Structure 1
Amino acid sequence: MTQAQAEVRSEVHQPAPSAPHGETYLEHLDRAVATSPDAEFLSFAEGPITFGEVDRRSTRMANALRELGVGAGHTVCTMLDSSADAVVIWFAVNRLGAIWVPLNTAYRGEFLRHQMADSSAALVVCEEHYLPAVGMIAGDLPEVRLILTRNGQGKSNAGDIRVRSLDDHRGTDDTPIDTRPKPGDTACLIYTSGTTGASKGCIISYNYLCACARQSNDSVPPRPGDTVWTALPLFHLSGSAYVVLAALLAQSRARVMSTFSVTNFWNDIEESRATSAILMGAMFQLLAQAPDNEAMLRCRGQLRAITGVPISPADREIWSERFGVARIDSYGYGQTEATKVCYLPHGAPMPPAGSAGPVSKDFDLMISDDYGNQVATGAPGEILVRPRRPNVMFNGYWKRPEDTVRVWQNLWMHTGDLGRVDEQGYLYFVDRKKDYVRSRGENISSMEVERAFLRHPAVSEVAFHSVSVTEGGEEELKVTVVLRSGQACTEEELCRWSMDQLPHFAVPRYVEFREGFPKTPTGRVQKHILREEGHTSATWDAHAFGLVARRRQP
């Protein structure tokens, strides 16, 4: 470590060291309340909340939830925008030893039904404006008994499910909860994208989430007075663990916005006094291409670090030169099952361009052939990982022991991703081993999209895939459809129908009707052929008709 690096290290917060047996974030909340109860912890659009307030409100909420029957081992689904309530409810559920199940707020239809039903939750807490999406599938949620709505009246039912206002169940009882989860206990279920089948719930422990938070602070160590800014949602680990819990462990401050706005970004950076930001793909480019404004000019150099992937070389230069950001961290590799296997610690040498960075000290990594044998240095193969200490990876798939066993072979977790490792030990991601689709920062289950399209009365067969639309490899979503005999439907009608059935990021831009699909001898659709054919003369383009799927505003 250089002298300059040592001086920077001496200026940062020094949170309690990780216990040898692991840790929970509820223990860290206790420490923060004991030392700095009135210090600001989180700031949302509706205002700030202190460590002490999170403690009091989550205790009262936990006592109220216990009166509703929530107990250890129970699951509670939430469908909430980023707010103080979202964090309070999350911590309240965990105080009871129950399991928090945060769901993507863009989900609807089969996407939403599958995860709510699979989690076996009896209680759902959602924003009032998401209640219609839950109501549409209420008849297919046999285990849900009660829905609490935030900012709602709660005087109606969703089918046979009672709907009540969250305000009536915030609680007033300050009696401490005697349940004390252990580091290896299940804190939450985070559902995978289901890129090779139905989405699966990853069983995530308390220590796993704390390990993610420590990685975030190890990458950008917070200094006294620092604030990290994000608009990433709390149902993703990037928002919940790498921002909220990172601030808790460091006893620092986080600004969490429920929506991202190019127009208001620099104003909020200035107002919140943010010194670092965790963003996602398109956000970097949109801000880099936006015109100057007074707040941006005043904030030049205020952000000392930005983190997120991907950042193009051109955008990296803009953020450095135009915005004065000293540290631009676009390195990392991980999955919900193990995040992050690779990341860039503060003070570490800059990795080669195109790499994911060095392997975390928490993991072993190997590149293997199809038989589990390690390949030569630099050769591509499947990325295999395993933990070097307890509870830094997922603890299996919820109610899917067979799938858990399937990914663990020869004491290694098989990621299904292809990569290579150079002589310096840096990982390079090569490709997905199996089919996957990605759009607007979200991994999408092609099977779930296809299942949704098959509910349309005119659709007989369907294949959902991505196609390249530019020489640079930019991809868009396409659905190829075989219509039922005697059924009439236009591409535009099908596209408009899908906007009501799918999350905005899963609505395909392209639609093509065919008489049949290229298939293997066993009857499987050969999607690689469809991808290679891409945009054909028979492909209908939604953008040519002014149709662009956008996230629904509450």
Structure 2
Amino acid sequence: MIDNLPHLLLDRASARPDLMIGALDDQISLQLALELAAGGAADLQARNLSAEDRVAIVAENSTDYVLAWLSCLLAGVPVALVDQTYPRELLACMLDVLDPTVVISDHPAAPSFAGTRRAILISTFRTAPRLDPSHAPGTNSGRYSTASLMHPARPTPGIPQFCAQSHEYFLRLGRAVAEAMTLTDRDRSLTPLPLSQINSLGHGLVGALTAGADALLARTVAVDTFWSEAIDHGITALTLDAPLVNNLARTATPKDSAGHRVRTMFPADGAFMRRFGVVRAVSGHGSTEAAGASHLRSWSIDDDIPTDAHRHGGTGREDIEWKLTDSGEILIREAARGALFTGYFTFPGVSSTLDQNGWFHTGDHGRLDEDGGLVAVERGLDHSRG
């Protein structure tokens, strides 16, 4: 029974031994990654870390980052994914609130923002002993226990808050994304976005793994080499964001993309799809708090795709309820436990932000389209809609 992320990953590695994961230029099999991560989990256990502690990862995209993330999952330790591009002073404040026991970083020496906390160099997870991941303590994690802590992708006034997300949150998000993007175990998915963003971790990584697809990362967003790398690595699915889509549409040509195999992407953009011949795309609306993607809508290249397609979320996932207030604010509520985030982390625990009727007030505003679906018109908190 798949009731947490380690179970999902073990199942996919067993079903498809050649499933690949990691950076484009440093791919390894998911099975090998899990064996190394089991060794990394044993190291975290030896440091007396448990489900009551927290680990923070502050690093750039890499295969080592994926191994560190997997190690925390297999250790059963909640892991916070922190944007390493934030100013060091802000990072220090964020970590003071989170108070992780350990900070995993790609800095060769303990970074200043870690303070007096123990620091682990992220490359050490590559050299961990290979152990049997099926016996790792994280395989016993509860469905609704905290798997991850993430903050909004874009800076907000004050210190960004960490959102607690359960294993169930990611399992549901992964299924929704895999279905909307029609991912299969024959796909090779790529995201160049930082793993500290819900689009990248939830849509790009967990969504692909849910389908049994290869889950690959780009270390950085390199517009000039984007299509050549996608072609060389046989990429069939993309998880991007609206600024990157627009940038690619401005700077790349159909000749640059000639021979690509991309058939599905997030977010939807009609001009991009027609320019580069991507036949299917998904638009969405959501936030780190509101299910990662509370709304997902599929488009075909032959559809009459509006210029603001990335704002169109459609009717919403079956495991959430939603409505607009008289002022147009978007409210989201769980129709199934675990669909939304658990709450904001406020030391020493997690505090719920739902109103007395269970609604999460997103602060975002929207309207209804002609079919009664959601169209986002004004952004409040962190959105996953591109």
Which band: TM-score by shorter chain?
Answer: 0.7 to 0.9
Residues 216, 242 of structure 1: 8 Å contact kept: yes
- How many residues in Structure 1 have an aligned counterpart in Structure 2? 377
Per the alignment, residue 50 of structure 2 pairs with 71
Structure 2 matches for 1:46-445, cutoff 5 A?
A: 46-128=25-107, 134-135=111-112, 137-138=113-114, 141=115, 144=117, 146-151=118-123, 166=124, 170-171=128-129, 174=132, 176-179=135-138, 180-192=140-152, 195=156, 197-292=158-253, 295-299=256-260, 302-308=261-267, 311=269, 316-317=270-271, 319-329=272-282, 331-338=283-290, 339-345=292-298, 353=306, 354=308, 355-369=312-326, 380-399=327-346, 404=351, 407-422=354-369, 424-432=371-379
Partner SS for 1:94: helix
In structure 1, what is the Cα distance between the partners aligned to 2:42 and 2:382? 42
Distance 1:398 1:320, change over 3 A: closer
Give how far 1:242 is off.
1.1
TM-score (norm: length of structure 2): 0.87
Residues 218, 345 of structure 1: 8 Å contact kept: no
Partner SS for 1:187: strand
Distance 1:221 1:76, change over 3 A: same
Give how far 1:170 is off.
2.4
Give how far 1:437 is off.
10
Partner SS for 1:66: helix
Give how far 1:45 is off.
3.6
Distance 1:409 1:199, change over 3 A: farther
Structure 2 matches for 1:8-47, cutoff 5 A?
A: 23-37=3-17, 39-47=18-26
Percent of residue pairs bearing the same amino acid type: 22
Residues 64, 169 of structure 1: 8 Å contact kept: no
Residues 41, 251 of structure 1: 8 Å contact kept: no
Give how far 1:296 is off.
2.0
Give how far 1:209 is off.
1.0
Residues 24, 181 of structure 1: 8 Å contact kept: yes
Residues 386, 412 of structure 1: 8 Å contact kept: yes
Residues 344, 353 of structure 2: 8 Å contact kept: no
Per the alignment, residue 447 of structure 1 pairs with none
Partner SS for 1:356: strand
In structure 2, what is the Cα distance between the partners aligned to 1:282 and 1:205? 29
Distance 1:198 1:423, change over 3 A: same
Give how far 1:123 is off.
0.7
In structure 2, what is the Cα distance between the partners aligned to 1:107 and 1:205? 25
Task: Give, as a single letter, the amino acid of the residue that structure 1 aligns with 2:95.
Answer: M
Residues 127, 150 of structure 1: 8 Å contact kept: yes
Give how far 1:210 is off.
1.4
Give how far 1:126 is off.
0.5
The ranges of structure 1 where at least 4 consecutive aligned residues each deviate by more than 6 angstroms after the TM superposition are 349-352, 400-403
In structure 2, what is the Cα distance between the partners aligned to 1:421 and 1:409? 25
Distance 1:223 1:109, change over 3 A: closer
Give how far 1:64 is off.
1.3
Partner SS for 1:209: helix
Per the alignment, residue 539 of structure 1 pairs with none
Residues 40, 48 of structure 1: 8 Å contact kept: no
Q: Greater RCO between the two (CA within 8 Å, min separation 6)?
A: 2
Task: Give, as a single letter, the amino acid of the residue that structure 2 aligns with 1:327.
Answer: R
Deviations 1:4-38 (A, max 9, x none): xxxxxxxxxxxxxxx7xx7312111221233333x
In structure 2, what is the Cα distance between the partners aligned to 1:403 and 1:437? 19
In structure 2, what is the Cα distance between the partners aligned to 1:403 and 1:256? 30
Deviations 1:246-284 (A, max 9, x none): 222211112210111121111111111111211112222
Residues 299, 305 of structure 2: 8 Å contact kept: no
In structure 1, what is the Cα distance between the partners aligned to 2:322 and 2:254? 45
Deviations 1:25-82 (A, max 9, x none): 2111221233333x13214144221121022011111111111222222101111222
In structure 2, what is the Cα distance between the partners aligned to 1:115 and 1:167? 24
Larger radius of gyration: 1
In structure 2, what is the Cα distance between the partners aligned to 1:345 and 1:291? 24
Deviations 1:482-534 (A, max 9, x none): xxxxxxxxxxxxxxxxxxxxxxxxxxxxxxxxxxxxxxxxxxxxxxxxxxxxx
